Structure formats: C-alpha cells, structure tokens
C-alpha cells in the first residue's frame, strides 16, 4: 500500500511540473474530471444559468424564465439532475402535504425561484398491489420493492425536503429493490 501511495505521489508531482508533455497534461485534465479532484467547500456553490422554463415544468411554475443548475451541493451532499448523474439524482423525499412517508424519485431539474432552491422530481411508481414486498419482514433494513418506471408528471419540492439518496437494484424488467441510503443512524434503547 505504501508503494502505491509513493508511486501516486511521484506521478502527481511529475504531472505538476512544467516539462510534462502536453498530451499527458490533457490526460490529467480528464482524470481530474473523472475522479473529482476539485474541492467544493460550500453548500450551494454552483452556477445557476437563466434559461427558458422547460415545457414539462411550465404548468407548475408562473415564470417563463428560471435559474437552472445541473448539480448542487446541499448539506455536504451532491445532488444532480438525472441527465448529469443517475446515482446523484435518485433521492428519497417527503412529498408536499406528507411529512411522514418518504418516497423515491429522480431529480429532473434543479432551479432557484424566489431565493429558494427547489427540485422538480419524477416519483418512482409503486408496484402492483398484488406484488408482495419481501423486505417488509426486515424493519431495520430500509429497502422496498418498486416499479422500474417513473411518473410522467413532475412534482416541485424544496431542497430541504430531500432526505437522502437511494440505491436501486433491478430485480426484473418491471421491478427493482430501492434501498434508502440515509446517513441518519437511529439508536434504540432497550
């Protein structure tokens, strides 16, 4: 392990020198993008761009122009739209009007409106009522069975109603297991 660390340090040192060949420097730029060596330090440290409101979001908004972003860091966690990064777009959230039931969905748009950062979400559809969820027998394993499809309609949710990411595993062409990846650890008194 020490040898790997030393070799990596020497490589980074060589890449930082001025006599490094230009082709290798270009490869370094790709590696930096791929492995995220850029350090983002503050929440919300992202560039919003003013654009026309997308057609599928327009019925929910009163604006013709919106400040849209592709990704954002909120409370130390990165969220992005599903075209930018599928894993960072899969979220567990509290829908409006319900503060007790978490729902899985994917972020389609991240936008700022009236000083508040919101996300437009496509909710992951539930399974048919006749399909039994095998994870219901394991209360301390926060997984559930859902459909592999998403709702065609959008829901607008404030970013503070987003709880965590989720992981999904395709069980078949129609079904997937959704696992809540919340960092919150519950301690139970015996």
pLDDT for the residue numbered 95:
87
pLDDT for the residue numbered 183:
64
> Who has greater pLDDT, 37 or 63?
63
Task: State percent of the chain over pLDDT 70.
Answer: 86
Structural domain spans, the chain: 2-35, 49-180
pLDDT for the residue numbered 45:
56
**Fold of domain 49-180:** SH3 type barrels. (2.30.30)
- Mean pLDDT of the region 155-167: 91
pLDDT for the residue numbered 168:
92
- The H helix count followed by the E strand count for the chain is 3, 11
- Mean pLDDT of the region 135-154: 91
Helix (H, G, I), strand (E, B) or coil at 59: helix
* Euclidean distance between CA atoms 98 and 86, whole angstroms: 26
Least confident of 52-56, 148-152, 156-160: 52-56
User: Does residue 36 carry a pLDDT above 60?
Assistant: no
pLDDT for the residue numbered 25:
74
Query: pTM of the entire structure?
Result: 0.71
Q: Angle at which helices 22-35 and 2-16 pack, to 10 degrees?
A: 120
* Euclidean distance between CA atoms 16 and 153, whole angstroms: 49
């Amino acid at each position: 392990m020490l040898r790997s660390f030393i070799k990596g340090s020497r490589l980074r040192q060589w890449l930082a020198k001025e006599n490094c060949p230009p082709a290798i420097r270009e490869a370094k730029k790709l590696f930096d993008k791929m492995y995220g060596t850029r350090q983002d330090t503050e929440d919300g440290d992202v560039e919003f761009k003013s654009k026309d409101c997308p057609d599928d979001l327009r019925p929910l908004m009163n604006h013709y122009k919106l400040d849209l972003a592709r990704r954002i860091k909120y409370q130390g966690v990165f969220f992005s739209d599903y075209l930018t990064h599928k894993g960072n777009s899969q979220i567990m959230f509290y829908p409006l009007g319900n503060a007790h039931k978490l729902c899985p969905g994917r972020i389609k748009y991240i936008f700022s409106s009236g000083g508040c950062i919101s996300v437009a979400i496509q909710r992951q559809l539930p399974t048919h009522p006749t399909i039994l969820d095998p994870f219901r027998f394991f209360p301390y394993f926060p997984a559930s069975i859902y459909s592999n499809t998403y709702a065609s309609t959008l829901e607008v949710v404030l970013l503070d109603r987003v709880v965590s990411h989720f992981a999904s595993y395709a069980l078949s062409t129609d079904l997937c297991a959704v696992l809540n990846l919340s960092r919150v650890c519950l301690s139970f008194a015996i």
